[in-house]
Chains A and B, each alone.
Chain A
Amino acid sequence: MSAAVTVYVPGDASACSLGADRVARALEAEAGKRGRVVHIVRNGSRGMFWLEPLVEVVTPAGRVAYGPVAAGDVAKLLDAGLLEGGAHALRLGDIAAHPWLASQQRLTGSRLGIVDPTSLVDYVAHGGYVGLRNALAMQPVDIVRAITDSGLRGRGGAAFPTGIKWQTVHDQKAGQKYITCNADEGDSGTFADRMLMEGDPFSLIEGMTIAGIAVGATQGYIYLRIEYPHAARALARALQVARAMGHLGPDVLGSGKRFDIAVRLGAGAYICGEETSMLESLEGRRGEVRVRPPLPAIKGLFGQPTVVNNVVTLASVPVVLARGPQFYKDFGAGKSRGTIPLQLAGNVKQGGLVERAFGLTVKQLVYGYGGGSASGRPVRAVQIGGPLGAYLPESQFDTPLEYEALAARDGLLGHGGVVVFDDHVNMARMARYALEFCAVESCGKCTPCRIGSTRGVELMDRIIAGRADTVRNGAQTADLALLEELCDTMFNGSLCGLGGLTPYPVRSALKHFREDFQRVN
Chain B
Amino acid sequence: MNNEADKIRRCVAGAVQKFAGEPGPLLEILHAIQDELGFVPAAAVPQLADALNLSRAEIHGVISFYHHFREHAPGRYVVQLCRAEACQSMNARALEEFVRGQLRLDFGETSADGRITLEPVYCLGNCACAPAMMVNGELHGRVTPERFGEIAKEWGVS
Contacting B at CB under 8 A, from A103-145, are: none
**From B132, which residue of chain A is reached at the shortest CB distance?**
A17
Residue from A230, A283, A346, A352 in contact with B23 in the complex, judged by beta carbons closer than 8 Å: A283
Alpha-carbon gap, A269 to B123, bound state (A): 11
Contacting A at CB under 8 A, from B66-113, are: 66-69, 84-90
Let me know if B26 and A285 touch, CB within 8 A: yes
Is A491 among interface residues, defined by CB-CB distance under 8 A? no
Residues of B within 8 A of A (CB): 23-28, 30-31, 58, 61-62, 65-69, 84-90, 121-130, 132, 134, 137-142
How many chain A residues touch B (CB < 8 A): the figure is: 61
Binds B, one of A72-80, A185-193, A400-408: A185-193
Let me know if B28 and A264 touch, CB within 8 A: yes
Alpha-carbon gap, A267 to B124, bound state (A): 13
Inter-chain contacts of A285 with B (CB < 8 A)? 24, 26, 58, 62
Alpha-carbon gap, A266 to B139, bound state (A): 18
Inter-chain contacts of B61 with A (CB < 8 A)? 286
Known contacts being A284-B26, A387-B84, A425-B89, is A343 close to B128, with CB within 8 Å?
yes
Is A41 among interface residues, defined by CB-CB distance under 8 A? no
Known contacts being A13-B126, A227-B124, is A18 close to B141, with CB within 8 Å?
yes
Residue from B65, B90, B124, B137 in contact with A374 in the complex, judged by beta carbons closer than 8 Å: B90
Residues of A within 8 A of B (CB): 13-14, 16-18, 49-50, 52, 185-191, 193-194, 226-230, 264-270, 281-288, 302, 343-348, 351-352, 374, 383, 387, 417, 419-422, 425, 430, 433, 437, 440-441, 443
Shortest Cβ distance from A232 into chain B, in angstroms?
Answer: 10
Let me know if A346 and B130 touch, CB within 8 A: yes
The 9 closest A-B pairs by CB, nearest first: A351-B128, A188-B84, A284-B26, A17-B141, A267-B66, A345-B127, A268-B68, A346-B89, A284-B24
Let me know if B69 and A267 touch, CB within 8 A: yes
Known contacts being A13-B125, A14-B128, A345-B127, is A419 close to B89, with CB within 8 Å?
yes
Inter-chain contacts of A281 with B (CB < 8 A)? 27
Inter-chain contacts of B87 with A (CB < 8 A)? 188
Let me know if A189 and B66 touch, CB within 8 A: no
Alpha-carbon gap, A344 to B127, bound state (A): 8
Alpha-carbon gap, A172 to B123, bound state (A): 37
Let me know if A14 and B90 touch, CB within 8 A: no
Residue from A189, A265, A443 in contact with B85 in the complex, judged by beta carbons closer than 8 Å: A189
**From A374, which residue of chain B is reached at the shortest CB distance?**
B90
Inter-chain contacts of A16 with B (CB < 8 A)? 138-139
Alpha-carbon gap, A417 to B58, bound state (A): 36
Supplied contacts A18-B142, A284-B28, 8 more A-B pairs, CB within 8 Å: A17-B142, A189-B86, A227-B121, A227-B123, A268-B68, A284-B26, A287-B65, A425-B89
